Chain A
Amino acid sequence: MGMRKVAVVGAGMTKFMRRAQETGKELSWQAARMALASCEMTLDDIQAVCLGTAPDAFDSIHLKGEYLSDGAGAWGKPYMRSYVGGGTGVFAPIQGWYHVASGLFDAVLVVCEEKMSSFYPHAQGAFLTIFDHTTERPLKPNLLWIFAMEMNRYMQTYGISKEDIAHVAVKNKRNAADHPCALLGNPDITVEDVLNSELLAWPVNRLDVSPVSDGAVALVMVAEHVAKRVTDKPVWIQGVGWSLDTAYWTNRDLAYPRYVEYAARMAYEMAGIKEPRKEINIVEPYDPFDYKECHHLEGLLLADRGQAPQLAIDGVSLRDGDMPVCPSGGLLGVGNPIAAAGLMKVAEIFWQLRGEAGARQVPGQPKRGLAQAWGDLMQVGTVVIMGTNP
């Protein structure tokens, strides 16, 4: 396609916290500083900055991109905030990728931040505006409705039980016990714990849901000649994809995320992947709810429709299984500061492929990984495929 090769060479992140004392600016700076230090670069080496952060409604700060700009290192540089809801954290590195692939810049900093704790009394309220103001909001919906209904439709379509899906929450929260930044890691959690946790909106119980969080993550993305100068272990962006389904969410198939499939097919084609189940070693699909990991694995064509829960039940998706899924601990375990959570998944693939994931390291020297996020009104899919080969 006439585009340049792009590598990730550095990554950094803050703890994911229920409530952080630091402001969003301060969190952004912490993550960005760590990412730069990890590849021994400074802000002077960076030509442009890409920022991802979710709705302004979380902090009631107008133009949050501009507000966060000093912490993100954007002063005096080409700078742009991208926002595709929950898909933002995997879209921001796609933006970073085309900044470099196009030849426009040789080195960019990608920063994703979220501070959800500012909204009172609970961040869920900030999501009410995703519902249509005239045809839906008068019914006084809450955010859980939409996910509970999608989960129910998924379960009913394929005859899946809550217990089947609870295995995903158990796997991810156990994995997160090995993540130093995790909010909800728990090595001892069981399926019974999930099923017996408080019922919020049937079929969703408390432990089926990821926690609202504060946090930030940053990446350094560079062109090939820069990558060769700064590291002997670059991780290459092999494919990217994104796609959107209809915003009339009650007018589509809720059992299958077609938009994720479209995004995945775009990325697979770019990466030259013909048989994703054989060619992808690690997956970090978006898991704000446990059923969403299943939904997304199916949309990514990494599981047959209705069969994804079985991967967790059979241990295929465990960290030492044939296809580890969310070895980081995912949003369910590490936490869900929306945009930062998506970029955390990309950072996890970066660390895993470099063999630097510590206690979370997937065995067998994985060569290729995929990170995916999802958002807006349950309709956007964003996918990045990374590998040890360009």
Chain B
Amino acid sequence: MTSKIKVFPGTPLREVDFKEGKILYRHDEMNGQYAWDTGIGIGSYLAALKEGVLLGSYCRSCRRTVVPPRTVCEWCFRPMNSYIPLKDTGTVNTFSLCYITWDLKRIKEPEISAVIEIDGASPLHGIMHKLGEVDPEDVHIGMRVQAVWKPADEREGAITDILYFKPIKEG
């Protein structure tokens, strides 16, 4: 059928159509403010972060330690309410060097996002965070890293109580 149709519907607009005022549109800014309850599992996680501890939870049936902690085990659907402190060290599972912001503004020094497998959690179990105190050129998968915390009196019970993870100097 497509081979028989020559002209497809749709009217593409160009940037210049807007600049020259050829297009009418309505612009609005939506009010979107929220306050999210933390729940039980993440509430415990945040409380521990305030104390300078990364918390996971453990399922006895599956012998699995996950992070962040949660109240139900996805695998066996049993309660997962045994919370255990993990180390604040880990291994870079993967990373990116990001040169733009969410609204496509360029940044010169890349933000380094990473998935960090946390020591004490099950294999391949990590969290997303950022890396710092490292030359972007030197970042690699498998790199050992440690959390850099805010000073205790500045922590507020948030993931940002960890400023970033930095490389562990070996030897």
Contacts and interface: CB of A to CB of B under 8 A. Distances in A.
A250 B113 CA distance: 12
Contacts of A120: 27
Contact of B2 (A18, A21, A358): A358
B74 to A, nearest CB: 6
Contacts of A133: 34, 36
A153 B66 CA distance: 20
B46 interface: yes
Contacts of A141: 102, 113, 128
A17 B127 contact: no
A210 B63 CA distance: 41
Given A27-B10, A153-B93, A135 B68 contact: yes
B54 to A, nearest CB: 11
Contacts of B95: 149, 152
B161 to A, nearest CB: 10
Given A150-B94, A254-B94, A30 B10 contact: yes
Contact of B141 (A152, A251, A252, A357): A152
Contacts of A60: 28, 30
Could you tell me the dominant secondary structure of chain A's interface residues? Answer: mixed
B5 A136 contact: no
B97 A142 contact: no
Contact of B159 (A11, A138, A203, A248): A138
A125 B103 contact: yes
Interface string A117-150: 0001110110010010111101111111100111
A153 B117 CA distance: 13
B141 A356 contact: no
A102 B68 CA distance: 41
A316 interface: no
A230 interface: no
Contacts of B93: 153, 250, 254
A197 interface: no
Nearest to B2: A351
A329 B114 CA distance: 32
Nearest to A144: B98
Given A120-B27, A122-B103, A134-B42, A251 B10 contact: no
B159 A139 contact: yes
A150 B115 CA distance: 10
Contacts of A363: none
Nearest to A347: B2
Contacts of B126: 250-251
B96 interface: yes
Given A124-B102, A134-B42, A135-B159, A34 B9 contact: yes
Most B CB contacts (10 A, CB to CB) among A15, A31, A143 go to A15
Given A136-B128, A142-B98, A200-B99, A357 B159 contact: no
B77 interface: no
A189 interface: no
B124 interface: yes
Given A17-B13, A153-B93, A140 B102 contact: yes
Given A141-B128, A356-B2, A152 B94 contact: yes
B94 A20 contact: no
Interface in B114-131: 114-115, 124-130
Nearest to B105: A121
Nearest to B102: A142
A266 interface: no
B104 A149 contact: no
Nearest to A20: B10
A152 B115 CA distance: 11
Given A201-B97, A201-B100, 11 more contacts: A122-B103, A128-B102, A136-B128, A145-B96, A145-B98, A148-B96, A152-B95, A152-B141, A201-B98, A251-B66, A251-B126
27 contacts: A11-B1, A13-B2, A22-B11, A27-B10, A34-B9, A120-B27, A134-B46, A134-B158, A135-B45, A138-B158, A139-B160, A141-B113, A141-B128, A142-B102, A148-B96, A148-B113, A149-B95, A150-B94, A152-B94, A181-B8, A200-B98, A200-B100, A203-B96, A215-B10, A248-B74, A358-B2, A359-B3
